[in-house]
Structure 1
Amino acid sequence: MTKDGVTVAKEVELEDPYENMGAQMVREVASKTSDSAGDGTTTATVLAEGIYASGLKYVSAGANPVYIKRGIDKAVAAAVAELAKTSKKVSGREDVRQVATVSANWDEEIGNIIADAMDKVGKDGTITVEEAKSIETSLDVVEGMQFDKGYLSPYFVTNAETMDVALENALILIHEKKINNLNDLLPLLQMVSKVSKPLLIISEDVEGEALAALVVNKLRGTLNVCAVKAPGFGDRRKAMLEDIAILTGGRCITEDLGIKLENIQMEDLGKAKRVAVDKENTTIVEGAGKSTDIQARVKLIRRQIEETSSDYDREKLQERLAKLAGGVAVINVGAATEPEMKEKKARVEDALHATRAAVEEGISAGGGVALLRCAPAIEGVKLEGDEAIGAQIV
């Protein structure tokens, strides 16, 4: 049983193709709202229905739909600006806990765990949600790193429902340049397939016959593999790859080392207890790097932050420091049954997205009150003709 707007909308499938087209439009509204904000999907659905019904009435009466749409856009922009002006900033653990609790359908356990997670890794830290092997929901903070590059091919996914990749006890190739020659890659693939471990390839790019070979091996079940682009650009990319190498106990294969791809040995590969990859991000959890090497790297980055005179460089160095030293918070969601697990995990993910949005942009009064208070701002937008009708609809 759920009252989550996007969950309900996804389950609506109508026999009549024209009616289903309308349902699909509402599903899209709920889905986009869930992706961008993590919550408020029911409100977005109600607003979409109201705007659509009113708009259809005026279009049927002869109004121009293009001008109505422009009026709606201008009114929405005014409302959003007013919401931003009147929103209250979220600061401190208690505020975070309250927002997370409300977003999780008043589940205080989830609220407390999300507050603890954000407390430990910071508002920009990496927080992942996993299914627990017990009925208890718990929080673990482990050494790890996340960067904003996703899989190079959807054929790498291990879970078709969530469209993501999960690699357990993975080997990691960290390569500075592009990989497009299959012959260069073949010795490595043969070596990894003998030990029956999954492989993550991080490089500038993987293309052509090399990418095709990886996809074929994955589809045939010969090798559990995933390839992602390296984060960053230029010298910053090389530095970030070195960070990953130190975190995972591997070696960054660069031109400077003079090591060719076909000559790579097992000890050159990094290792991690778990790797999670989706369309946009790669998360490496519990790398096999030595803690002394990681701490030395952290000290080096801190010294570079102190010495640099560029605000931009300082910001990028601080991002690297957060990725290397901040760790990854893992929320393990436990439940007694599979349906309960899915429902609870969805609530945790919704609450996490909503809390991040609240920390970033603030919170407003609920129950439609904040939207009602935006009415004067919309009335202040001076429009004429059918554009004014669009604003009136909002």
Structure 2
Amino acid sequence: MSKLIKSGEEARKALEVGVNTLADTVKVTLGPKGRNVVLDKKFGAPLITNDGVTIAKEIELPDPFENMGAQLVREVSTKTNDVAGDGTTTATLLAQAMIREGLKNLAAGANPIVMKKGMAKAVETAVEAIKANSQKVNGTDDIARVGTVSSGDEFIGKLIAEAMEKVSADGVITIEESKTAETYSEVVEGMMFDRGYITPYMVTDTEKMEAVVDDAYILITDKKISVISDILPILEQLVQSGKKLVIIAEDVEGEALSTLIVNRLRGTLNVVCVKAPGFGDRRKEMLQDIAILTGGQVISEELGYELKSATVDMLGRARQVKVTKENTTIVDGSGDKQAIKDRVSQIRAQIAVTTSDYDKEKLQERLAKLAGGVAVIKVGAATETEMKEKKLRIEDALNATRAAVEEGIVAGGGTAYVNAVPAVEKLIGKVEGDEKTGVKIIVNALQEPVRQIAKNAGVDGSVVLEKIKSSRKVGYGFDAYKEVYCDMIGAGIVDPAKVTRSALENAASVSSMVLTTEALVADKPEPPAPAAPAGMGGMDGMY
């Protein structure tokens, strides 16, 4: 296929047009008074959002060279989203500012390679300054503040803080669509997995259609139970002492199931059968997790155990097991605390070495079930369009709070970048030539977020910037929502240090690539196929 090639100034101009087209669309969403962008969808209602990465992913430009510029900046927001989960609009804005200033200097004859070196030094200094100005997250209030600033909604901030407090550091928080218009969170106590009872004949509450077994003994096996004689010895021991049993097996069927149902209905034996969770190797690991949590033993031929020779000592114990049609929850297992701790450490080690995102997610879920618990935030709204928009905001806010717990918080509203400017300006005297130009590019870019937030609030960005810089106070900034100057951290306007850092690093990385570009190569668009003739002579009216 033949190619189109552009080089030099012409190539960089095309890239800049693409960069600006995407960045100008995204940056209107920045800050508490940022606007929304409506994205057309081929199917269903349009999506209304102020999430930078979601908007960037939708933009494709018709000109192949301009599209390259847009896709490069899209990479900035995607990478920032992957690393920190938020700050995508800020990253896009920073990249645009760096590219704009850099291209001006290239046109004036600066050397891009030397300039790139200066930019790298300046970013390193700025990141160190951001880290130095960061504070550790102290308690639920700080988490709520981060969530509030990220989502622009105090209720969402508090909801996330509550959920994080309930499930601890190892817990998992998932976001689901609510069946009502309400947005709320619920916490699953104990270990829950997505398998319900094998037969409804085993329910204890016919109104709720659930089986609740208090002070339960739990038989855990990876075998299929189809003959009652396999489990008869253990059943006899339990019947004599009046104990209640939950069987977690690959399946219970045939004669074994019908015998258990008959005895259950007669009241001879209180038993509930549940299919084992997961598949393959993951199932074996999850059964082992359940065994450790309940202080039992997985009865498996691989481990040298047979069902016929199982004893009561090999069964797990729990204060309560609740089984519905879809889920099973084990509350307050009687497992050894040290054994659970060791298992948690083992799963953590697996998370550290795994490269698959899917495996990491599943391991994280297992860790949460053993150590922290699972909280579910149910997102509700009056319309589906509003619910999708709200769900995106909650996802961003949740990622922001996780990032804040990891690396602490800094002053929000772009103030953290302005606070890093003096440290970067000191570099100007230490470097020479085009390296100095590179440092100045970063100094200018660091001031761009404050300008844009002020502009989106209808205020002159340059005036706001001068006021903040002249105060010379760390953390002093502009509250664009109330349109007042204040101590940002004191006012609860905070950003996660990780988000602030990642946005800057990723913006600088892509910008320096754009500035060192000398030629662009793109596929030549294929000419449109000739249109079919309108009609065929002599065949009027025939189909």
TM-score range (shorter-chain normalised) is: 0.5 to 0.7
Among candidates 90, 95, 98, match of residue 48 of structure 1: 95
Q: How does 1:15-94 map to 2 (within 5 A)?
A: 15-94=62-141
CA contact (8 A) 1:143 1:287 kept: no
CA contact (8 A) 1:79 1:375 kept: yes
Among candidates 371, 383, 387, match of residue 435 of structure 2: 387
CA distance 1:73–1:298, shift in 2 (3 Å): farther
Gaps of 5+ in 2: 1-47, 199-219, 223-249, 254-274, 307-320, 350-363, 443-543
CA distance 1:258–1:123, shift in 2 (3 Å): closer
Amino acid at match of 2:394: V
Among candidates 61, 67, 71, match of residue 14 of structure 1: 61
CA contact (8 A) 2:194 2:327 kept: no
CA contact (8 A) 1:9 1:30 kept: yes
Amino acid at match of 2:378: N
Amino acid at match of 2:337: K
Among candidates 402, 408, 418, match of residue 362 of structure 1: 408
Is it true that 1:299 corresponds to 2:337 in the alignment?
A: yes
CA contact (8 A) 1:78 1:378 kept: yes
How much has 1:322 moved relative to structure 2?
Answer: 6.2
CA contact (8 A) 1:142 1:286 kept: no
2: CA distance, partners of 1:92 / 1:38: 21
1: CA distance, partners of 2:276 / 2:298: 18
1: CA distance, partners of 2:186 / 2:114: 52
Among candidates 279, 300, 322, match of residue 201 of structure 1: 279
How much has 1:245 moved relative to structure 2?
Answer: 5.0
CA contact (8 A) 1:143 1:326 kept: no
The residue that corresponds to 1:263 in the other structure is none
How much has 1:135 moved relative to structure 2?
Answer: 1.1
The residue that corresponds to 2:173 in the other structure is 127
Q: Deviations over 1:187-213 (max 9, x none)?
A: x89x9xxxxx9973252xxxxxxxxxx
How much has 1:168 moved relative to structure 2?
Answer: 7.0
The residue that corresponds to 1:345 in the other structure is 391
Q: Deviations over 1:128-185 (max 9, x none)?
A: 1111111111111114679xxxxxxxxxxxxxxxxxxx977599x999xxxxxxxxxx
1: CA distance, partners of 2:221 / 2:117: 49
CA contact (8 A) 2:195 2:277 kept: no
2: CA distance, partners of 1:286 / 1:126: 17
2: CA distance, partners of 1:255 / 1:23: 55
TM-score w.r.t. length of structure 1:
0.62
SS at match of 1:88: coil
CA distance 1:43–1:111, shift in 2 (3 Å): same
How much has 1:247 moved relative to structure 2?
Answer: 5.9
CA distance 1:252–1:384, shift in 2 (3 Å): farther
CA contact (8 A) 1:126 1:145 kept: no
Amino acid at match of 1:386: D
CA distance 1:254–1:98, shift in 2 (3 Å): farther
SS at match of 1:380: helix
How much has 1:80 moved relative to structure 2?
Answer: 1.0
TM-score w.r.t. length of structure 2:
0.46
Amino acid at match of 1:301: A
How much has 1:92 moved relative to structure 2?
Answer: 1.4
How much has 1:13 moved relative to structure 2?
Answer: 2.4
CA distance 1:370–1:330, shift in 2 (3 Å): same
CA distance 1:23–1:170, shift in 2 (3 Å): farther
Which structure's CA Rg is the greater one?
Answer: 2
- Aligned CA-pair RMSD: 4.3
How much has 1:348 moved relative to structure 2?
Answer: 0.6
CA contact (8 A) 1:131 1:332 kept: yes
Amino acid at match of 1:393: I
Q: How does 1:227-376 map to 2 (within 5 A)?
A: 242-245=288-291, 251=298, 255-257=302-304, 287=328, 289=330, 291=331, 294=333, 296-301=334-339, 323-376=369-422
Gaps of 5+ in 1: 147-165, 176-187, 192-196, 204-226, 231-239, 260-270, 275-284, 306-311
The residue that corresponds to 2:424 in the other structure is 378
SS at match of 1:136: coil
The residue that corresponds to 1:160 in the other structure is none
How much has 1:350 moved relative to structure 2?
Answer: 0.3
How much has 1:367 moved relative to structure 2?
Answer: 2.4
Q: Deviations over 1:216-243 (max 9, x none)?
A: xxxxxxxxxxx7996xxxxxxxxx8622
CA distance 1:123–1:299, shift in 2 (3 Å): closer
CA contact (8 A) 1:167 1:198 kept: no
Percent of residue pairs identical: 52
The residue that corresponds to 1:112 in the other structure is 158
SS at match of 2:173: strand
The residue that corresponds to 1:281 in the other structure is none
1: CA distance, partners of 2:284 / 2:90: 38
2: CA distance, partners of 1:273 / 1:59: 68
CA contact (8 A) 1:298 1:324 kept: no
CA contact (8 A) 1:139 1:330 kept: yes
SS at match of 2:409: coil
CA contact (8 A) 1:75 1:378 kept: yes
